[in-house]
Structures are given as C-alpha cells and as structure tokens.
C-alpha cells in the first residue's frame, strides 16, 4: 500500500486565488478516500464547509466515507451536541455565511446555476446529512482536547 495522504482545504486551497481552486474542488475531493469533518456547532453555517461536503458526496462518495468528529466544549457537551443535532435537522443554505462576502456571492451563483436556487440545494444537503447522521450515535471519547466521536454502532 501507500502512506496515507491528507488534503486539508485551508492549506491546500490558495486563499489568495480561491477562484482557480474552487474550479478544481471536485477533482481534489474526488481523489479523497474519506472526508473527515471536525464538526462544531458552526460547521453547517459556513458555506465553504457545506459546499465541500456536498461536492464530496456528489462526486460519487457515499455516507460511509464521511466521518464526523464533533468538537465539544468540556463544560457544555450536552448543549453543543444539542446544537449540532439541531443544525443537522434544520439546515438551510440561505443561513450560511462566508468570511469574504464575495466568496458567498460566487458560491451562491454556482449553486443557483447548478440547482436553480438555494432551496433545492438545501434539500440535497439535508438528504446527505440524513444519511450521514443515520450512521452515527453519539458517545464520549476521552482525549486531551475533549473531542467526542460519533459511534458507528447503531441503536437499531
């Protein structure tokens, strides 16, 4: 086999020329065997994150190739988990933000061209989130940074 390869969007996408790399995003994500999401309460409010999740799935990957690792504050674990569950259950692309408003305009234009609007895109993302969240139940994982992992064992 080969050594694992890690592609981290923030480091691998040229932040000074996002337009060029945005066009290549499907290629970058298609080459990934798995998508690991370090998910806090704000994950689904960031349009870049949602577009990457959607693109990974749209390029032919399945829910079993997406691993969600919740980022929880030690003193507010239950509140954070509840917020994340609510975010997964009520995703709406119109509520997403980008650090740079120009990025949001560009990405929304792409979404409108491909899906006819944010409502259709939101429905597609909600379907992905339903498939991903159905695979997991929450469990505590002890580690120094107090991350919790989503357990793959179903409650079925």
pLDDT, tens digit, for every residue of 37-50? 999 889 999 998 99
pLDDT, tens digit, for every residue of 87-112? 888 999 989 999 888 888 888 988 89
pLDDT of residue 8: 81
pLDDT, tens digit, for every residue of 128-143? 988 888 776 443 333 3
Total residues found in the chain within this entry: 156
In this structure, the number of other CB atoms found within 10 A of the CB of residue 38 comes to 12
pTM metric for this prediction: 0.76
Give, in order, the Cα–Cα distances in Å from 57 to each of 44, 48, 50, 126.
15, 14, 11, 12
Q: Are strands 149-151 and 137-139 parallel, antiparallel or unpaired?
A: antiparallel
């Amino acid at each position: 086999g080969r050594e694992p390869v890690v592609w981290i969007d923030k480091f691998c996408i040229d932040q000074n020329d996002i337009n060029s790399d945005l066009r290549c995003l499907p290629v970058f994500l298609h080459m990934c065997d798995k998508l690991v999401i370090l998910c806090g309460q704000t994950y689904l409010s960031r349009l870049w994150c949602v577009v990457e999740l959607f693109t990974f799935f749209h390029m032919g990957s399945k829910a079993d190739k997406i691993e969600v690792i919740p980022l929880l504050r030690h003193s507010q674990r239950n509140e954070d988990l509840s917020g994340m569950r609510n975010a997964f259950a009520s995703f709406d692309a119109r509520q997403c933000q980008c650090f740079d408003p120009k990025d949001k305009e560009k990405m929304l234009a792409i979404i409108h061209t491909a899906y006819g609007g944010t409502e259709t895109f939101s429905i597609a993302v909600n379907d992905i989130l339903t498939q991903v969240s159905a695979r997991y139940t929450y469990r505590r994982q002890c580690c120094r940074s107090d991350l919790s992992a989503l357990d793959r064992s179903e409650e079925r």
